[in-house]
Amino acid sequence: MKSKLLSLPYIVWMLVFTMIPLVMIGVTAFTDNSGCFSVDAFVSAFQYTNIFLKSLWIALLSTVICLLLAYPLAYIICQMRPSTQKTVIMLMMIPMWMNFLLRIYAWVLLLQNGGPLDTLLSAIGIHGDYSNNTAAVVVGMVYEYLPFMLLPIYTVMGKIDKSLIEAAQDLGSNKASVFRRVILPLSIPGVISGITMVFVPSASTFVVAQYLGGTDDIMIGDVIDKIFFTNNHIGAALSLVLMVFILLFLVLMNKFGDEEAIA
Amino acid sequence: MKQKSGVLTKIYIGIIMVFMYAPIAVLIFYSFNKSRSAAWGGFTFEWYFELFKSRSIMNALTNTLLIAVLAAVLATVLGTAAAIGIHNLRGKTRAVVQNFSNIPIISPDIVMGVSLMLLFTFLGVLFHFEMGFVTVLLSHISFCVPFVVLNVMPRIRRMDTSIYDAALDLGCTPVQAFFKVVIHELMPGIVSGALISFTYSIDDFVITHFTQGARFQNLSTEIYSMLRRKIPPTINALSTLLFLVIIVVMVLINIRDRREEKRKTMN
């Protein structure tokens, strides 16, 4: 029970299978085929700037939409009876247990030309293409990650001390100002972890855009996936840049969260 | 905060539920469609028969379950030992180890996958092996262990260490005391760590995709390559069956929870 040695296998494991591989990305990114130091990979990686920005844009859109959908939902769920709360949360979680690729494929089926949505809308006279565009990619992302936004907000909101709300009401606050002055500020930590949990995976995802996007909807994850089979160095450079971006984002979010906690 | 929920909130929940379940309904609908195109061509069970006849899907399913069970068990053993060890570390070393633990949790899957692929390709050239079952298993253990540590740590912190000393006083050897007392105390954390590992492993696509090598397939990568070729309706049948399994598991968990709650209120 007192032994520190028990942590040794884990430390060795993490060194071999996490730290060394990450260092290898760094080394691969900063070398060329002959193994010499070189920044060529980063120079070549520059041609993907637009794809990089587009990925961040898609991730940002998805995160914002998730937040706009999940926040009111969490608020509504918190006001239900505890047993109903449990059921609704479970209903939101069940689709998450389906395989990631099947969930995306389901949207391909739903949005395809002559598919259910097309048939339904054609019947009332609306015609259009719903698949193979940026909007479809964002819809797919929102579907993938909505529960990741809902759960942290719901957990934090559910833990708000009821007596704080009653106190605000006793002191003359109406519903709107109870929400604005009590519930909203106290739920910010949940919102921040929700944003992190949606933004990080959606910025780095691949496959979603391949299935739901048009020809110009390529995300950085897809590029990294493809390029690793032709040029390791550019792939590693892109992975490194992505990792740095995400770390910066996490630091920013953390800082924002801390400031909120103090305020 | 309690109040009667209005019509608007009901409509809102309804719309969200339609959004969550419409795609699944579509998958189920198409699994019974005789035609391969988007239009309805009559009812059939054909795709279900074909699914069970497909050796590659059944093989992928076995691989997925085998990897998930092995990864969960090994990650749980490694992670539980680690959590106890880390708890006994002091000051700076402990903070460093705990921070490193978080790296796989915060880094994007694709970066983890790519970095492991670099490692295995390098080692493969050095020791003449190819990526496959073993490399996928090693990778899955790697991304599962931190979650076990994360789940067991709080239980250790809350544990009363005097019960371990009491077991020793009553004549247990340290090993006996560990297995009879400590493990028992940590069990809830160990179980949730193992369950999380199992679910993550079953659901993983990205990391398997990069570490699978040429021949190994799990369910996710098999679905990926099926979708790349053409869109075979067997996938719809597979989705429907998976969905059924999930529903059954969820209902069972719910029944168990209700029973436990009842037992608690009766006591």
Two tokens, residue B125: 């050239």
Confidence (pLDDT) at B179? 86
Architecture (CATH level 2) of domain B63-219:
Orthogonal Bundle (1.10)
Q: How confident is the model at residue B1 (pLDDT cuts 50, 70, 90)?
A: very low
Report which of residues A61 and A162 the model is more confident about.
Answer: A61
Percentage of residues in chain A with pLDDT exceeding 90?
A: 43
Residues with Cβ within 8 Å of A240's Cβ and at least 6 positions away in sequence, in order, are A25, A26, A29
Domain residue limits, chain B:
63-219
The shortest C-alpha distance from B100 to chain A (Å) reads 8
Q: Which of B90, B105, B26 is nearest to A106 (CA)?
A: B26
pLDDT tens digits, one per residue of A183-241: 888 888 899 999 999 999 999 888 899 889 888 888 999 999 999 888 889 999 999 99
Contact, B5 vs A80, CB < 8 A?
A: yes
Inspect the interface and report whether the beta carbons of B20 and A92 lie closer than 8 Å: yes
Q: Tell me what the mean pLDDT of segment B106-126 comes to.
A: 92
Percentage of residues in chain B with pLDDT exceeding 90?
A: 40
Confidence (pLDDT) at A60? 95
Question: Would you say the ipTM is above 0.90?
Answer: no
Percentage of residues in chain A with pLDDT exceeding 70?
A: 97
Q: Tell me what the mean pLDDT of segment A117-140 comes to.
A: 86
**Which residues of chain A make contact with B89, given a CB cutoff of 8 A?**
4, 7
Nearest CA in chain B to A16: B119
d(CA A144, CA A27): 33
E strand or H helix at B242: helix B234-266
Contact, B224 vs B208, CB < 8 A?
A: no
Report which of residues B39 and A101 the model is more confident about.
Answer: A101
A66, amino acid identity: C
Confidence (pLDDT) at A221? 92
Q: Is B203 helix (H, G, I), strand (E, B) or coil?
A: helix
User: Given A98, A200, A232, which is nearest B239 (Cβ)?
Assistant: A98
Q: Tell me what the mean pLDDT of segment A81-96 comes to.
A: 88
pLDDT tens digits, one per residue of A164-178: 888 888 888 888 888
The shortest C-alpha distance from B192 to chain A (Å) reads 16
Tell me which residue has tokens 């705990």.
Answer: B98
Inspect the interface and report whether the beta carbons of B119 and A24 lie closer than 8 Å: yes
Residues with Cβ within 8 Å of B93's Cβ and at least 6 positions away in sequence, in order, are none
Q: How confident is the model at residue B113 (pLDDT cuts 50, 70, 90)?
A: very high
B111 has which bridge partners? Answer: none
Q: Tell me what the mean pLDDT of segment B109-128 comes to.
A: 93
Confidence (pLDDT) at A175? 82
Tell me which residue has tokens 């004549």.
Answer: B171
The shortest C-alpha distance from B265 to chain A (Å) reads 15
**Which residues of chain B make contact with A254, given a CB cutoff of 8 A?**
none
pLDDT tens digits, one per residue of A212-225: 988 888 899 999 99
User: Given B81, B119, B224, which is nearest A21 (Cβ)?
Assistant: B119
The shortest C-alpha distance from A244 to chain B (Å) reads 10
Q: Which CATH class is domain A48-224+239-262?
A: mainly alpha
Q: Tell me what the mean pLDDT of segment B236-261 comes to.
A: 87
pLDDT tens digits, one per residue of B199-241: 889 989 999 999 998 889 999 999 898 887 766 788 889 889 9
Inspect the interface and report whether the beta carbons of A25 and B114 lie closer than 8 Å: yes
Whether B2 shows a pLDDT value over 70: the answer reads no
Phi then psi for B43, rounded to 5 degrees? -85, 140
Whether B260 shows a pLDDT value over 90: the answer reads no
**Which residues of chain A make contact with B37, given a CB cutoff of 8 A?**
114
Most confident range (mean pLDDT) of A41-50, A59-68, B230-239 is: A59-68
Whether A263 shows a pLDDT value over 50: the answer reads no
Indicate the average pLDDT of chain A.
88
Inspect the interface and report whether the beta carbons of A100 and B205 lie closer than 8 Å: yes
Confidence (pLDDT) at B5? 56
Confidence (pLDDT) at A3? 75
**Among A239, A240, A241, which would you mutate to test the B interface (most chain B Cβ atoms within 10 Å of its Cβ)?**
A239
**Which residues of chain A make contact with B1, given a CB cutoff of 8 A?**
78-79, 162, 165
Q: Tell me what the mean pLDDT of segment A139-162 comes to.
A: 92
Inspect the interface and report whether the beta carbons of A204 and B109 lie closer than 8 Å: yes
B47 class by beta-carbon count within 10 Å (0-12 exposed, 13-18 middle, 19+ buried) = buried
